[in-house]
Amino acid sequence: MRKTKSLDPTYFDGLYAEKPDPWDFSTSAYEAEKYDATIAALGVERSTRGLEVGCSIGILTRRLAEVCDSLVATEVSSAALEQARARCADLSNIDFRLVSESDGGFDGVFDLIVLSEVVYYWDDHDLDRVAAAIDKTLAQGGRLLLVHYVLETDYPKSGDDAVEGLKRRVGDSAEVEISRRADSYRLDLWRRKPL
């Protein structure tokens, strides 16, 4: 049965307490292929300041740090964040932040915001908050990259509902550059239109 409210930090703390890598990010061929596709979608354009919401244990974070001059990586689970910090300890361009709200970490201006496997954890109220945060912090010409599992889950939203819901909230301020589907996930890259 689908949950109706946003998943809170205790949900994720429980997952990481039970298994340090609950989705097998570090060993799954599927995850490796998805991360390759995620980075490939960004192309050769380098980002000055990026934001990764929900960095988990830092697998994608390492890859994003290679294409960003500086990267803010947020996470709601302290156990996951500690793993991410350890995994990326040799990289000096990542600012790790423990957050408790869906829009935590959205401060300053970013020319890249990555929402990978997180938007479907939020209910409509939190989706409104995140859309407002994107509106305030995504630079003109900046990119918003979304990657979401599209098969059945018990999260508050399906992958498709999450992405389409955010798109409605972002509206005409962003144009779609990439919208592609694999067997079990979708990848969407939007660019904020200049004023």
pLDDT at 123: 96
Average pLDDT over residues 181-186: 95
Average pLDDT over residues 169-173: 92
pLDDT at 194: 84
Please list the residues that pair with 142 across neighbouring strands.
none
Is residue 87 exposed (0-12), middle (13-18) or buried (19+ Cβ within 10 Å)? middle
Q: From 172, 192, 173, select the one nearest 113 (Cα to Cα).
A: 192
Q: Any residues with CB less than 8 A from the CB of 152 and at least 6 apart, and which?
A: 158
Per DSSP, the three-state class of 128 is helix
Residue 195 has pLDDT above 90, yes or no: no
Cα distance between residue 9 and residue 99, in whole Å: 9
Both structure tokens of 71: 């990267």
Confidence of residue 154 (pLDDT cuts 50, 70, 90): very high
Residue 2 has pLDDT above 90, yes or no: no
- For 66, what's the count of Cα atoms within 13 Å in the CB-facing half-sphere? 13
Listed in sequence order, the DSSP H helices in 43-158 are 59-65, 78-87, 124-137
Record the pTM. 0.96
Vertex 82, ends 185 and 135: CA angle to 5°? 55
Average pLDDT over residues 22-28: 95
| Counts of helices then strands in the chain (DSSP H, E) | 6, 7
Residue 1 has pLDDT above 80, yes or no: no
The H-or-E segment that residue 121 falls in is: none
Confidence of residue 69 (pLDDT cuts 50, 70, 90): very high
Residue 66 has pLDDT above 90, yes or no: yes
Backbone angles phi, psi at 103, to 5 degrees: -100, 15
pLDDT at 46: 96
pLDDT at 176: 95
Cα distance between residue 159 and residue 172, in whole Å: 21
pLDDT at 22: 95
Is residue 19 exposed (0-12), middle (13-18) or buried (19+ Cβ within 10 Å)? exposed
